[in-house]
Amino acid sequence: MAIFTGAGVALITPMNQDGSLNYEEMQKIIENQIENKTDAIIVCGTTGEASTMSHEEHIETIRQCVSMVKGRIPVVAGTGSNCTETAVYLSQEAKKCGADGLLLVSPYYNKATQNGLKAHFTSVAKAVDLPIILYNIQGRTGVNIAPKTIASLVKDVDNIVAVKEASGNISQVAEILALCDGNIDVYSGNDDQIVPIVALGGKGVISVLSHVIPKETHDMVALMMEGKVKEAAALQLKYLPLIKALFSEVNPIPVKAAMNMLGFNAGSLRLPLTEMEAANQELLKKEMNAVGLKTV
- Residues 6 or more apart in contact with residue 236 via CB below 8 angstroms: 192, 194, 195, 220
To the query of whether residue 256 is one of the catalytic residues in this protein, the response is: no
The backbone torsions φ and ψ at residue 162, rounded to the nearest 5 degrees and listed phi first, read -155, 170
CA 100 – CA 77 distance, rounded (Å) = 8
Three-state DSSP at 152 gives: helix
Strands (E), the chain: 6-10, 40-43, 75-78, 101-105, 132-136, 160-165, 185-188, 204-207
Partner residues linked to 267 by β-bridges: none
CA 174 – CA 184 distance, rounded (Å) = 12
To the query of whether residue 164 is one of the catalytic residues in this protein, the response is: yes
Q: Which of these is catalytic: 95, 164, 203, 256?
A: 164
Query: 81-89, long-range: CB within 8 Å, 24+ apart, which pairs?
Result: 81/107, 82/107, 82/108, 82/109, 82/110, 83/107, 84/119, 84/120, 84/123, 84/124, 86/55, 87/120, 87/124, 88/123, 88/124, 88/127, 88/128, 89/55
CA 295 – CA 260 distance, rounded (Å) = 9
The backbone torsions φ and ψ at residue 20, rounded to the nearest 5 degrees and listed phi first, read -75, 165
Closest by CA position to 82, among listed 101, 49, 115, 104: 104
Residues classed as catalytic:
135, 164
